[in-house]
């Protein structure tokens, strides 16, 4: 057999495996933060800097698709879900255009979508830019279907000119008016057709304040945003006001100081209005350059909103929200736990050492741990730290075939012991999980040449969790 034919069969068999695992999967029952998610096809969900739109009873998640190599615009994706846990890939809502401002080797970020009440059409907004961030403007695209395809229309104009700012967000008020939010806290009201900016309602009010997001509870508006540290996390802040015109009152942090917003950057807040309660879903990104496709994750937490106080006091690895009632409940991941010192169950290869925090860790490229189990789901907890690196995760079936491959990032500037990986729910069978040290780390520089990212390559294991049936 020719080498190319062998390669073809290898490709086909791994593809079949991945899709058969996708077909046999059960449903996930929780929102899990800080871990890669897998869609209905078994592919990693790539939808960062995004938003959720509820339309005809379904939730639509829009976000930035990324690659694992560069920051060039790779398209805006659309996924849908009824429960906010299980995501179906719908479409590449705005693919990379053949040329122009959303063409190859450009930047496209912070995609937001709103349905225009006047026209009934869907309008998508984004930050468009060059790779070096020197040509920023708010652009827009339109479609008659929520999932697209969207047609890129160019810059969104205010008094005939583009707004040359970068981080942006959107807010739709109860009366159907649409707003564009910009870094620094500027707010513009959209025209009735949502295709231009009609009026500036709030001026630049603070330094930084990237990734702006507004939500409303009763008659109070909450305005969330991050400081300016590129993809590095920082302690995000919020303001409140009784009118979008302000005055906006600075309220401070909404996550405990120093947690860097639980290692996340705000992107959107979704009110989940149920019959008994409304849950305000904080949607944040945990970026991971260069592996933004595989290893950047989502930090989605319920916000506690009480008067002018906003908080995420505790980080929840896994939790459930009933979209009918709006009620939140905690979720326990895995029914069986294997501690990292159980050498009968866990096979370590290479140099692993127990450290003061009682985790096993290694920074030796190729070092691995593995565990064989009979069940439907496996995950592991680790300690993400400033010297954490990337781990390659593979799941093999009893014939040694890889049925799932994933990359996780164990870097966090604010150290946190948390769920690091959780497989999709699988058909009950015997599998082996193998986690190995890649000898790579997330690191990058911004346009001012500031360096960010990990100082090491460590991968750590706290415990393994398994569900047997
Ligand atoms: C910040 C912005 C992102 C992106 C990165 C690039 O995190 O919020 O949208 O522009 O910087 O460094």
Tell me the pLDDT tens digit for each residue of 140-162: 999 999 999 999 999 999 999 99
For the cut 50, the answer to whether the pLDDT of residue 245 exceeds it is: yes
Ligand 1: lining residues by beta carbon, under 6 Å: 49, 109-110, 167, 210-211, 230-231, 265, 446
Q: Is residue 276 pLDDT above 80, yes or no?
A: yes
Residue 7: is its pLDDT beyond 50?
Answer: no
| Atom number in ligand 1 closest to CA 285 | 7
Q: How far is C-alpha 248 from the geometric centre of its chain's CA atoms?
A: 28
Give which of 252, 311, 331 is closest to 83, Cα–Cα.
Answer: 331
Say yes or no to pLDDT of 70 above 80: yes
Distance 287 CA to ligand 1 centre (A): 9
Q: Is 398 exposed, middle or buried (0-12, 13-18, 19+ CB in 10 A)?
A: exposed
pLDDT for 12 equals 39
Question: Band of the pLDDT at 356, cuts 50, 70, 90?
Answer: confident
Q: How far is CA 244 from CA 41, 52, 171, 200, in A?
A: 41, 21, 10, 10
Q: Is the peptide bond before 63 cis (omega within 30 degrees of 0)?
A: no
Quick one: CA dihedral 103, 112, 327, 258, positive or negative?
A: positive
C-alpha 109 – ligand 1 centre gap (Å): 8
Residue 174 has pLDDT above 70, yes or no: yes
Q: What is the pLDDT of residue 163?
A: 95
Tokens 């583009």, residue located: 162
Q: Say how many Å lie between the CA of residue 10 and the centre of ligand 1.
A: 38
- pLDDT value of residue 335: 87
Structure tokens at 409: 């990032």
Return the pLDDT at 54.
Answer: 98
For 227-240, the pLDDT digits (tens) are 999 999 999 999 99
The residues with which 383 forms a beta bridge, in sequence order, are 417
Alpha carbon nearest to ligand 1 atom 8, residue = 211
Query: Per-residue confidence at 357, pLDDT binned at 50, 70, 90?
Result: confident
Q: Which of 231, 261, 292, when mutated, tests ligand 1's pocket best, judged by the most ligand atoms within 8 Å of its CB? A: 231
- Peptide bond just before 95 cis, omega within 30 deg: no
Quick: pLDDT tens for 323-355: 999 999 999 998 899 999 999 999 999 999 998
HEC per residue, 77-137: EEEEECCCCCCEEEEEEECCCCCCCCCCCEEEEEEEEEECCCCCCEEEEEEEEECCCCCCE
In this predicted structure, the answer to whether residue 308 has a pLDDT above a threshold of 80 is: yes
Position in ligand 1 atom list of the atom nearest CA 232:
7
Confidence of residue 24 (pLDDT cuts 50, 70, 90): low
Question: In angstroms, rounded to a whole number, what is the distance separating the alpha carbons of residues 246 and 304?
Answer: 22
For residue 311, the CA-to-ligand 1 centroid distance in Å is 23
pLDDT band at 25 (very low <50, low <70, confident <90, very high): low
- How confident is the prediction for the chain on average, in pLDDT? 94
What percentage of residues in the chain have a pLDDT greater than 90?
A: 92
């Amino acid at each position: 057999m020719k080498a190319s034919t062998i390669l073809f069969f290898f490709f086909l068999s791994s593809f079949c495996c991945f899709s058969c695992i996708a077909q046999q999967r059960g449903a996930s029952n929780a929102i899990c933060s800080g871990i890669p998610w897998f869609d209905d096809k078994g592919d990693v969900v790539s939808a960062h800097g995004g938003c959720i739109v509820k339309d005809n009873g379904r939730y639509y998640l829009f976000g930035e698709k990324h690659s694992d190599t560069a920051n060039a615009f790779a398209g805006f994706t659309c996924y849908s879900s009824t429960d906010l846990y299980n995501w179906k890939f719908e479409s590449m809502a705005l693919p990379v255009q053949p040329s122009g401002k959303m063409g190859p080797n450009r930047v496209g970020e912070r995609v937001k979508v709103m349905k225009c009440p006047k026209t009934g059409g869907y309008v998508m907004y984004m930050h468009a830019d060059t790779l070096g961030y020197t040509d920023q403007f708010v652009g827009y695209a339109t479609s008659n279907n929520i999932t697209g395809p969207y047609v890129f229309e160019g810059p969104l104009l205010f008094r005939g000119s583009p707004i040359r700012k970068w981080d942006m967000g959107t807010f739709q008020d109860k009366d159907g008016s649409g707003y564009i939010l910009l870094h620094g806290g500027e707010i513009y009201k959209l025209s009735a057709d949502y295709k231009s900016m009609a009026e500036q309602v709030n001026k630049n009010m603070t330094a930084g304040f990237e990734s702006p997001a507004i939500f409303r509870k009763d008659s109070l508006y909450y305005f969330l945003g991050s400081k300016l540290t590129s993809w590095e996390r920082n302690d995000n802040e919020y303001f409140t006001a009784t009118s979008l015109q302000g005055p906006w009152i600075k309220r401070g942090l909404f996550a405990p100081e120093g947690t860097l917003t639980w290692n996340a950057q705000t992107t959107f807040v979704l009110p989940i209005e149920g019959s008994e309660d409304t849950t305000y879903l904080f949607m944040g990104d945990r970026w991971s350059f260069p592996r933004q496709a595989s290893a950047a994750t989502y930090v989605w937490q319920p916000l506690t909103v009480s008067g002018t106080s906003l908080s995420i006091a505790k980080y929840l690895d896994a939790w459930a929200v009933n979209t009918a009632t709006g009620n939140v409940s905690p979720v326990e991941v895995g029914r069986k736990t294997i501690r990292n010192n159980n050498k009968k169950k866990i096979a370590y290869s290479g140099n692993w050492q127990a450290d003061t925090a009682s985790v096993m860790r290694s920074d030796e490229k190729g070092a691995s741990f593995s565990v064989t189990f009979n069940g439907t789901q496996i995950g592991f907890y680790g300690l993400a730290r400033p010297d954490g690196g990337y781990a390659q995760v593979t799941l093999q079936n009893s014939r040694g075939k890889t049925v799932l491959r994933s990359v996780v990032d164990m870097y966090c500037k604010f150290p946190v012991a948390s769920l690091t990986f959780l497989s999709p729910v699988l058909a009950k069978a015997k599998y082996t999980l193998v986690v190995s040290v890649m000898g790579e780390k997330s690191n990058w520089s911004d346009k001012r040449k500031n360096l960010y990212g990990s100082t090491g390559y460590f991968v750590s294991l706290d415990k393994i969790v398994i569900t047997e049936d």
